[in-house]
Amino acid sequence: MIVRPPQPTRAATRSAFTLLEVLIVVAILVVLAGVSSVYVFRYLEDARIGRAKADCATLAKAAQAYEIQFGQLPESLQQLVQPPVGSKPFVDPDALMDPWNKPYQYDPQGAHSNGLKPDVYTVTPDGIQIGNWK
């Protein structure tokens, strides 16, 4: 007669993770999230700079369109939002704020553009000046 070893019962088999295994997995996930966030925030700042460049160019074009329609450049960017009676706004009010929630700066004389077009610019929190002349 062959004697077989007893089969383990259901209670003897392992059916869950231990607390140590769960803590190790959580620690690995935290490390991965920390490392990846450095790269994500770098690309986020690059995206803000790109948006600021595009916004500056758009606002400068809107100022030039204002000049074509009314014969002179606007004195401020606010005039692009509220043009004289009988015409529609050239830009939305939200377009006057940069990605860092500061208003765009405006110079109708265009010192950076040699007087060829108005200058629209902003300064990043790091002190980098971004404008439509670059």
The range of the structural domain enclosing residue 62 comes to: 21-131
How far apart (Å, rounded) are the C-alpha atoms in residues 81 and 94?
A: 9
Q: How far is CA 11 from CA 4, 7, 22, in A?
A: 20, 11, 21
- pTM passes above 0.75: no
**Which amino acid is located at 115 in the chain?**
G
- Asked if 52 contacts 60 with a C-beta cutoff of 8 angstroms, the reply is no
Domains identified in the chain, total number:
1
CATH of the domain at 79: 3.30.700.10
1 is a domain residue = no
Predicted local distance difference test score (pLDDT) of residue 12: 58
Task: Confirm whether 9 is domain-assigned.
Answer: no
In a structure prediction context, what are the per-residue pLDDT tens digits for the chain, which is 134 residues long? 677 777 766 555 667 889 999 999 999 999 999 998 888 888 888 999 999 999 999 999 999 999 998 899 999 999 999 877 877 899 999 999 999 999 999 999 988 888 788 999 999 999 999 999 86
In a domain, 7, yes or no: no
